[in-house]
């Protein structure tokens, strides 16, 4: 089984913790949404998940650099085609079978807030190895560390917890300027 789509969550999000025990994302450490600046991809929301432990004739997986492929700027591609770059996989019946291992997120699993509680209190963020929680703003692609001025002001709808600053940066986020 292959699950594909625009999930609006990076594979590192704690919401995938339950899926991560049975499936693995093929696109890891790559952003798939076109940024507003040429050459910049800003989030890993598009992905292909496959059932772990199953043998697949998988030879490769990746992200199509749509602007380069079409000969357009990022802005033009976002306006005329999509802000999402297609993700792809290659299967080859003649290739040796690759057994996929279950994937687990880098940080501790966090419970997913129900819709009733999501509007009241912010979802908790995992604590990074540095001992501070890391929360990104999905609207601005800026992340905040616990204790910084804007940490608690990120709205629930835009709140993206990360296991570490490095994980946030890998998804295209940058550290808030008022947080050092």
pLDDT in tens, 1-35: 777 888 888 887 888 777 767 777 877 777 888 88
pLDDT at 104: 45
pLDDT at 120: 41
Domain match, 7 and 91 both: yes
In a domain, 163, yes or no: yes
Most confidently modeled range among 59-63, 83-87, 100-104, 166-170: 83-87
150-160 mean pLDDT: 81
In a domain, 136, yes or no: yes
Domain match, 73 and 140 both: no
In a domain, 134, yes or no: yes
Q: DSSP for 92-145?
A: -TTSPPEEPPP---SS---PPPPHHHHTTSPPP-PBPTTSSBEEEETTTTEEEE
Q: How far apart are CA 137 and CA 140, in angstroms?
A: 6
Domain match, 60 and 128 both: no
48 and 2 Cβ atoms separated by less than 8 Å: yes
- pLDDT-derived band at 172 (thresholds 50, 70, 90) equals confident
In a domain, 109, yes or no: no
Number of folded domains that form the chain: 2
**95-120 per-position pLDDT tens digit:** 555 555 554 444 333 322 223 333 34
In a domain, 113, yes or no: no
Mean pLDDT of the chain: 74
Backbone angles phi, psi at 99, to 5 degrees: -90, 125
64-69 mean pLDDT: 86
Structural domain that includes position 169: 118-175
Spatial CB neighbours of 91, under 8 Å, sequence gap ≥ 6: 56, 57, 58, 59
In a domain, 104, yes or no: no
41 and 31 Cβ atoms separated by less than 8 Å: yes
Domain match, 139 and 91 both: no
Is the pLDDT at 130 greater than 70? The verdict is: no
Reported as type and span, the H/E element at residue 76 is: helix 74-80
In a domain, 60, yes or no: yes
Long-range contacts of 119-128 (CB under 8 A, 24+ apart): 119/156, 122/152, 122/154, 122/156, 122/159, 123/156, 123/159, 123/161, 124/161, 125/159, 125/161, 125/162, 126/14, 126/161, 126/162, 126/163, 128/162, 128/163, 128/164, 128/165
**pLDDT over 70, % of the chain:** 73
113-138 mean pLDDT: 54
Q: Who wins on pLDDT, 73 or 53?
A: 73
Reported as type and span, the H/E element at residue 160 is: strand 159-162
Domain boundary among 44, 66, 99: 99
pTM here is: 0.48
pLDDT at 107: 36
């Amino acid at each position: 089984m292959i699950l594909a789509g625009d999930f609006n969550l990076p594979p590192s999000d704690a919401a995938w913790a339950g899926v991560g025990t049975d499936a693995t994302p093929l696109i890891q450490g790559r952003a798939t949404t076109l940024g507003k600046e040429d050459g910049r991809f800003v989030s890993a929301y598009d992905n292909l998940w496959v059932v772990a432990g199953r043998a697949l004739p998988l030879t490769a997986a990746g992200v199509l650099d749509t602007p380069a492929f079409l000969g357009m700027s990022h802005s033009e591609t976002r306006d005329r085609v999509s802000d999402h770059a297609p993700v792809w996989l290659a299967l080859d019946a003649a290739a040796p079978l690759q057994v996929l291992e279950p994937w687990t997120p880098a940080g501790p699993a966090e419970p997913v807030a129900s819709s009733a509680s999501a509007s009241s209190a912010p979802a908790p963020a995992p604590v990074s190895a540095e001992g501070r929680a890391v929360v990104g703003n999905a609207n601005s692609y800026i992340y905040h560390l616990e204790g910084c001025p804007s940490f608690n002001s990120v709205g629930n709808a835009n709140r993206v917890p990360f296991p570490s600053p490095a994980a946030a940066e890998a998804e295209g986020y940058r550290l808030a300027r008022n947080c050092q």
